[in-house]
Amino acid sequence: MTRISEKFKRLKSLHQKALITYVTAGDPTLAFTEKLIYELERSGADIIELGVPFSDPLADGPTIQASHMRALKNDVSVASVIELVKKVRAKTNIPIILMLSFNLVFHYGTQKFVSDSLDAGVDGVIPPDLSHDEATSFVNEAKGLDTIFLVAPTSTDERIQDIVKDSTGFVYLVSLTGITGEGRGLPEDIKNNVSRIKRYTGKPVAVGFGISTPAQVKEICNLADGAIVGSAIVKVIEQNIGKVGALRKVGTFVEKLKSGTVCQKSPV
């Protein structure tokens, strides 16, 4: 059982859901990201997504795009992010997922990427621009890494079945069409879309895109197995770059988000 699967199993036994936090590696520096990983864990994050900066990130709104640009100015690369994970593994066992363009994996070398990631202690990978129709070879090469694919709210039942078959760790339901961002509100069809996915798999389902408040985390966690928050956290980082207490500001925000993950009814 992988660290990600173990985390969901443990949370279920505690009648909690997963808070999955996204931050861009190297924003504003890799040294800050290292400290941030420890702070996120202390503040209640259950799983951490590290975004690997890319010049043309798919589906990311302006907040995350800006964070990628800040990181790229420091020459943050796939190799340096993997090395960061290897470094933090000496101090933390929290599940860590790399979210990155498959173009970066391809240019790094798929086999080398998988080997280096496993050696460093990476637990999973989310390649948002890898068409599931073209993902079979990557899934086969990525043995040992959880491969997490996105289900769009417009996906047909047939496509959902295909995606959940190859997804491991959890299934990532995109709550709304369009780009990431905070303050957009949650669509009314989330409950139905979670139910559609669970019709075909017993794997955990986590929901991301547009989730930015404790109330929204609570709403999602009454429907699914976890909530993914990205842009809202990245915005707190952006607002506090260079300020004293920046890490604690992020931690305090994450603590509030985590308060929404306690089940109000029997876990799904």
pLDDT in tens, 68-106: 999 999 999 999 999 999 999 999 999 999 999 999 999
Judge whether residue 231 has pLDDT over 80. yes
Instruction: Find the length of the chain.
Output: 268
| Measured distance CA(78)–CA(130) in Å, rounded | 17
Q: What is the pLDDT of residues 13-54, one digit of tens each?
A: 999 999 999 999 999 999 999 999 999 999 999 999 999 999
| Measured distance CA(227)–CA(257) in Å, rounded | 9
Q: What is the pLDDT of residues 108-128, one digit of tens each?
A: 999 999 999 999 999 999 999
Q: How confident is the model at residue 267 (pLDDT cuts 50, 70, 90)?
A: very low
Average predicted confidence (pLDDT) for the chain: 92
Q: What is the pLDDT of residues 213-223, one digit of tens each?
A: 999 999 999 99
Q: What angle, rounded to 10 degrees, do the helices at 30-42 and 246-258 form?
A: 40
Q: How confident is the model at residue 182 (pLDDT cuts 50, 70, 90)?
A: very low
Q: How confident is the model at residue 159 (pLDDT cuts 50, 70, 90)?
A: very high
Q: Which two tokens stand for residue 197?
A: 């996915």
From 27, 39, 60, 219, the catalytic residue: 60
Within 73-175, residue ranges assigned H as helices are 78-88, 102-108, 110-120, 136-141, 157-166
| Measured distance CA(242)–CA(10) in Å, rounded | 37
DSSP letter at 175 equals -
**Is residue 134 among the annotated active site residues?**
no
Q: Which residue's entry shows tokens 């303050």?
A: 183
What would the mean pLDDT of 233-254 be, rounded to a whole number? 97
Distances (CA, A) of 138 to 14, 110, 189, 225: 34, 8, 31, 26
3-state secondary structure of 168: coil
| Measured distance CA(193)–CA(4) in Å, rounded | 22
Judge whether residue 258 has pLDDT over 90. yes
Q: Which of 4-8, 36-40, 75-79, 135-139 has the lowest mean pLDDT?
A: 135-139
Assign a CATH topology to domain 3-261: TIM Barrel (3.20.20)
Q: How confident is the model at residue 177 (pLDDT cuts 50, 70, 90)?
A: low
From 46, 49, 146, 182, the catalytic residue: 49
| Measured distance CA(224)–CA(129) in Å, rounded | 24
For the chain, the structural domain boundaries read: 3-261
What would the mean pLDDT of 204-220 be, rounded to a whole number? 95
Strands 18-24 and 96-99: unpaired
What would the mean pLDDT of 142-148 be, rounded to a whole number? 96
What would the mean pLDDT of 215-239 be, rounded to a whole number? 96
pTM above 0.75, yes or no: yes
The pairs formed by 236-239 with CB atoms below 8 angstroms and a separation of 24 or more are 237/23, 237/27, 237/28, 237/36, 237/67, 238/27, 238/63, 238/66, 238/67
**Is residue 49 among the annotated active site residues?**
yes
- Of 265 and 69, the structure prediction assigns the larger pLDDT to 69
What would the mean pLDDT of 233-260 be, rounded to a whole number? 97
